[in-house]
Each structure stands twice: as C-alpha cells, then as structure tokens.
Amino acid sequence: MTLETILPPERTLFAVPGGSKKRVLEFFSTFIAQNTPSLDSQEVFDRLIGRERLGSTGIGNGVAIPHARSPHCNGPVAAFLKLAEPIDFDAIDGEPVDLVFVLLVPEEADDTHLALLSQVATVMNDADTRSRLRHCTTQRELYETLIEAIRRQGT
C-alpha cells in the first residue's frame, strides 16, 4: 500500500482556512466524514485530538502529520491540506504549520500505519518538496506536485 493509492485528488485541499489546530482537525473530520460514509466526524475528531494529547504531530519545518486509528475505518485514508495561513500546531521546532498530511487507519493496521507514516515523513522531510508545495497556486497543481514527490521518493 502506498500513499498514492490512498490519496485521491479530491482529498488534496488548497487554501484551507486555518485559525487553530483544533479548527483544522474539525475541518478535516467534517470533510472526511462527508466523503466516507463509515466515518463519523465527531469520532474522527476525538481520535485525532486524543493522539495530539499524547504529543504534537507537528514534525517541524511547517509540517504536521495528524494521524489516528479508527474502528470504523475500512482501509487507510489520507488527505493533504495546504492552509491559507500558517497556524500554531505545537510543532517540535516551534514553527507555525501550513502543510498538513492527515492519515486515518483501521484499528488493527499496525504495520500499514507505521509504513504509511514513514512514507509521509520521508516525503515531507524534503526541503525542495515543501518549497514546491508552498508555491502551488491551485488544487490541481498541489495534488500533482505532491504525487510527483511521492513517486520521486519511491513510495
């Protein structure tokens, strides 16, 4: 399983209103529940917030990778959000976040979960990739740039 197979173009969102970590996670939870009948927005939000309480998923360089397990998730679900304005995400380097890669996996998907998180981290740790994503001006360009980066990383 690769990131490319679980990230369709319609889940790559451009100029998402930020405001706060909580608002971004609420936005994603509502968005994903509207597009995935088995998921409940409040349950997704509660799981993502629960994971954040264990430690911020802001990995630095303006990137966050919120992720959680869900018993109602039938398979891995990914979304990528480029925020309209950077927000405080309690990132490890203290920098505001504007690139958010969200990952939901089924409750029992241990190896898959870790492999997908590793793929996301590898792609998002590349400075050139982050710069190109930040310079995108449309949703389509954002998706194509991200998929190209995923392919380049061999994931």
Q: Do the beta carbons of residue 56 and residue 92 sit within 8 Å?
A: yes
| Active-site residue identified among 67, 72, 113, 135 | 67
CA atoms within 13 A on the CB side of 102: 29
Q: How many CA atoms, within 13 angstroms, populate the side-chain half-sphere of residue 146?
A: 33
First to last CA, the chain: 9
| Cβ atoms of residues 70 and 39 within 8 Å | yes
135 a catalytic residue? no
Q: Which residues are catalytic?
A: 67
